[in-house]
A and B are shown apart, each in its own frame.
Chain A
Amino acid sequence: MLAMNYRGPYRVRAEQKPYPEIEHPNDAIVRVLRSCICGSDLHLYHGMVPDTRVGQTFGHEFIGEVEEIGPSVQKLKVGDKVLVPFNIACGVCPFCKQGLYGNCHESNPMATAVGGIFGYSHTAGGYDGGQAEYARVPYTDVGPTVIPPDMDLDDAVLLTDVVPTAYQACEMGGIKEGDTVVIFGAGPIGIMAARCAWFFGPARVIVIDHIEYRLEFARNYAKCEAYNFKSLEDPVLFLKKTTDWFGADVCIDAVGCEAEGNTLQTLTGRIALLQAGSGTALQWAINSVKKGGIVSVVGVYGPPYNMIPIGNIVNKGITLRANQASVKRLLPKLIDHVQSGRLSPKDIITHRIPLKEVSDAYNIFSSKLDNCIKTVLIP
């Protein structure tokens, strides 16, 4: 089968790999119909995540048709079209039982700090991902969800990660009516978080980034304010001024470890790798939020450490909330938002590219060529 194959930082190719096998009684093999490149795939692509091995297939945002099932699978049958949450969850460990499907204790032997994730390095379990014609899906009775028959496949694929992660970012922010919400990052997650924030009733939603075409997209798609930090000189000062010198009620970090905007963070985090990427967005979030405010983190940071102003978290009484999205928990509500027409995830897709052109697809997304917001690979 054709699959994306990681060869090293900034080097991927599409090539033939063996068809995946059922390796556990509750596995299924899925024929992939759509697979996205996620912003967090770029951290792998750029060589930022430890234990990213040559030969792995990336891809944790995918949907497909069930091709084969293991002997213990009860809830799905061959031919079902399913959306596959990006996190692999057993459904029975103490974390899954309490809805923390992104923190499963039975899906990643290689690290205790993160649950299993499809195609996301060996630090997240060493699974091959969905940027392929076929993928092995463990715990078939727990994670995969049948796609409603009237749902557009492009909407469905964005429900595997982008929408749940963005929505949970807002949920963790505890946004209240009248709040000012600041979102750092105008990538797919940041744009979607800006759109989802309105479900919680804020008065202002502000997006901060430095890519002008993405800020324009955010303004149009999410009906929010959007500012270029390169023209602000000091984004923290700007945000204090625009909130009557109090600070935002809620700040969301939707950037993670490759943030720009602070030379020291860039030098130590992205170039010298003395910390796990740049912590600029999180630093700004902590320093821009009001006293007693909430900082919600969905940006991806690799292990082991980052330089952020912990003292300000303590002295300002900030509540810091973070997690991988619990996709399975959120799906019923989000499917309803999509089916009712309140949310149209597919509108953020700008590029549909054949899997065989995966090298170009990664470069387009990584280098932000052709005004790219979101790339979908079609096997």
Chain B
Amino acid sequence: MENERTDYKNIPGWGMDADPENEPTYPMKNYTGDDHQRLNYTRPPLQPESVEILHSNERPGLTAVFGTSSPPSGLSGAIRRYAFQHSEDRYRHWIPLILADRINVIEGIVDDIKKGHIPNFFAERGCAADWKYNRKGVLQKALAIAAITAIVITLVSDKKK
């Protein structure tokens, strides 16, 4: 059976208990009734699509403006394209995006090397600040790593013998 929209205003009692003062979203939302005329607004001029923009399948197309930073590319881009075939309700949207983010990190390192730039992980992680403000912690961490490494090396060399 098909659903048909009824003339709701003829339903007995329709709207008789409506209280326009009962607006729990005020003052965050200044209710004007625009929700019910939502297609009547004039959209702003549309930004030209200069790079590939993926959009949620929960909307018909792009918004009037959007960011053009880091368009999808490579393997991570292919995964992102897959993710955007699924709605924001689905894990198959978000999990692939997280996977793509991690792959994108490796792609970034490869890109850096291709451009002749060897990433300085210590500098990028702000280790200088650690050394300046948390020298004791850095030394403790270094000692712990050295101790674990020494134990592992000892165990491995014992096994070989």
Seen from chain A, the residues whose Cβ lies within 8 Å of a Cβ on chain B are 7-13, 23-27, 47, 50-57, 72, 88, 90, 92-94, 97-100, 105-113, 116, 122-123, 125-128, 138-139, 168, 171-172, 273, 303-304, 319, 321, 323, 326, 329, 359-364, 367, 369-370
Contacts and interface: CB of A to CB of B under 8 A. Distances in A.
Shortest 10 CB-CB distances between A and B: which pairs? A363-B126, A127-B67, A126-B67, A8-B105, A54-B108, A109-B55, A53-B70, A369-B133, A360-B129, A50-B97
B70 A116 contact: no
Contacts of B76: 53
Interface in B84-139: 84, 88-89, 91, 93-94, 97-98, 100-102, 104-105, 107-109, 112, 119-121, 123-130, 132-134
Given A26-B45, A364-B133, A9 B62 contact: no
B126 A99 contact: no
Contact of A116 (B63, B125, B134): B63
Contacts of B97: 50-51, 123
A94 B67 contact: no
A7 B124 contact: yes
Contact of A51 (B32, B101, B130): B101
Given A7-B105, A108-B63, A72 B34 contact: no
Given A90-B64, A109-B59, A51 B28 contact: no
A98 B29 contact: yes
Contact of B124 (A11, A53, A100, A364): A11
B133 A100 contact: no
A99 B123 contact: no
B44 A94 contact: no
The majority secondary structure among interface residues of chain A is loop
A338 to B, nearest CB: 20
The majority secondary structure among interface residues of chain B is loop
A116 B107 contact: no
A57 B28 contact: no
B94 to A, nearest CB: 5
A50 B94 contact: yes
A70 to B, nearest CB: 10
Interface of B: 24, 27-32, 34-35, 37-38, 41-45, 47-48, 50, 53-56, 58-59, 61-70, 76, 80, 83-84, 88-89, 91, 93-94, 97-98, 100-102, 104-105, 107-109, 112, 119-121, 123-130, 132-134
B129 A109 contact: no
A213 to B, nearest CB: 13
Contact of B32 (A27, A52, A98, A125): A98
Contacts of A13: 120, 123-124
B124 A12 contact: yes
A308 to B, nearest CB: 18
B92 to A, nearest CB: 10
Give the one of A50, A273, A326 with max B CB within 10 A.
A50
Given A8-B108, A139-B65, 20 more contacts: A7-B124, A11-B125, A13-B120, A13-B123, A47-B101, A47-B102, A51-B97, A53-B70, A54-B105, A54-B108, A106-B43, A106-B65, A109-B55, A109-B61, A112-B58, A126-B69, A304-B94, A319-B24, A359-B126, A369-B129
Contacts of B83: 51
A359 B124 contact: yes
Nearest to B38: A94
A175 to B, nearest CB: 13
A317 to B, nearest CB: 13
Nearest to B108: A54
Given A23-B47, A50-B94, A88-B65, A171 B134 contact: no
Contacts of B98: 50, 273
A367 B70 contact: no
A112 B61 CA distance: 11
A110 B56 contact: yes
A7 B111 CA distance: 11
A137 to B, nearest CB: 10
Given A109-B59, A112-B59, A126-B70, A98 B30 contact: yes
